[in-house]
Chains A and B, each alone.
Chain A
Amino acid sequence: MKPLLFFSSILLLALFSAPLLAEITLTTVAETEVTEVDARGEEIVRRTRANRVVPGSEVIYTITAKNSGAEPADNVVVTNPIPEQTVYVDGSAFGAGTEIIFSADGGKHYDAAGQLTVKQADGLSRAATGEDYTHVRWHLAFSLAPGEEAPVGYVVRVK
């Protein structure tokens, strides 16, 4: 095979393969809420890209899974490690049509909120709280159709 033809084939293959490799795109956005007062004196809560974040601030993460391919995607599972220096705000995880589970041991074991336990220094176990969570995971209960987006997310408080 001539080198030129060889490279062309590779290029063609790459062009066709690319959409297949990126059937689902995943985007993470960190936002903060700002309360502003409008001209009529009413408070509006506006979301902006996370800024003015200080210890104690709450930051909203939204992870959007989009099906960019031509085939429906099944059994979509989105996982997000809770960032360092932040704690999960209890009850904050959201995601329409998803089952939300958590891990309190670095992602080894997942279960529903309230079902997890952690070992204390004295060796006894206690119920895990948001502060113990290390990961949040969403199981999409539906099939993600081509072009469809599924936003999920949660809120953290900066330590």
Chain B
Amino acid sequence: MMKRTLAGIPLWLLLLAPWLALPSPALATGTSAGVDIRATATAEYSIGDSRSSVTSNTAIFRVDQILDVTLSWQNADHRPVGSPDSDQVLSYLLTNTGNGDDSYSLSVENGLGGDQFAPEFVDIYLDADGNGLLDPEFDTLYITGRNDPQLTADAARVVFVRNNIPADLHDGDLGSSQLNATSNTGSGAPGTTFDGAGNNGITAVVGASGGTDGATGSYQVSGAGVSLLKSVAIVNPLGGEQPVTGALMTYRIEVTVSGTARANGVVITDSIPANTSYVPASLTLNDEALTDAADGDAGDVGDSRADTVTVDLGDLNPGSPTRIITFDVLID
């Protein structure tokens, strides 16, 4: 009796299964360049009582090389940078979506629209060790025309672009950088042909990508750190520092800017604590009195926002002196 598995599949078939299950090569882009496709027809017919057959010629055509490429930016989000900052890396994935071997020349375009600053191009590296991380010691500095990345059909490679970030940018500013890759075999309007330019001298045809692609990556200045230090001093009319009814509390907020970028439009708000009352005309900034009304000076109490102290400090540069805000409340 034949040995059977639980599923009733003959054992020999199961042993064969790993080979049957071998995936066909993942040809996302289809038939390889240079493949000959052959077709031969046959016919059978009767003349009188005799049945005969005949075979046609074999019609052959060759699959040309299609030139297609895609680039995609790999960073998950804007790369956070300081201002100034140097050698900031953006990662891209270059994929040969054509059906033959190709090489690509790379270039970087900065000064694109729709952003607040233009990164300053430094260099391009090819991910030689394939770990997806730029390590100038192990990866290859790209030199146009000298070491253009070569990719077989469907192969991909990580490309790094390094830019410097200009000084005096504002927190939140965006800067874009575009990497372009163009097929060295040929590019242009889709359908353009290059006789003999393909692998082994076959015809190359520009695909839907035009044989070129670009991808834009971006930086965002996030080097500005605004830190607040809040403290309170209590003066009890009965003596001591117990926060009892009638006690005077002086709040003190110290504002410091750290990091490398300018902090834009810094507004400090602090709500008057519950069960306390603001002491009129007690608001100060850097030891100078501010009126309680929203007027020419930097602060107000309750006007910009109800029951809240609001002080507009404007733009703060890294290294600006600490701003000190104080105000008094009485415990109800």
Residues of A within 8 A of B (CB): 21-30, 49-56, 59, 61, 63, 65, 69, 71-81, 83-86, 144, 158-159
Contacts and interface: CB of A to CB of B under 8 A. Distances in A.
Contacts of A63: 41, 56
Contacts of A53: 37, 61-64
Contact of A26 (B27, B37, B55, B193): B55
Contacts of B205: 52, 54
B43 A78 contact: yes
A55 B31 contact: yes
Interface residues of B, number: 38
Nearest to B47: A71
Nearest to A77: B44
Nearest to A25: B54
Contacts of A23: 45, 47, 52
Contacts, number: 120
B59 interface: yes
Contacts of B191: 52
Contacts of A24: 43, 45, 52, 54
Interface of B: 27, 29-31, 35, 37-48, 51-52, 54-66, 99, 191, 193, 203, 205, 207
Contacts of B66: 54-55
Chain B binding surface SS class: strand
Contact of B56 (A26, A49, A74): A26
Contacts of A61: 39, 59
Contact of B45 (A49, A73, A81): A73
Contacts of A78: 41-43
Contacts of A22: 54
A95 B218 CA distance: 58
Given A52-B193, A54-B205, A77-B44, A27 B56 contact: yes
Contacts of B193: 52
A86 B207 CA distance: 19
Contact of A79 (B41, B47, B203): B41
Contacts of B56: 26-28, 63
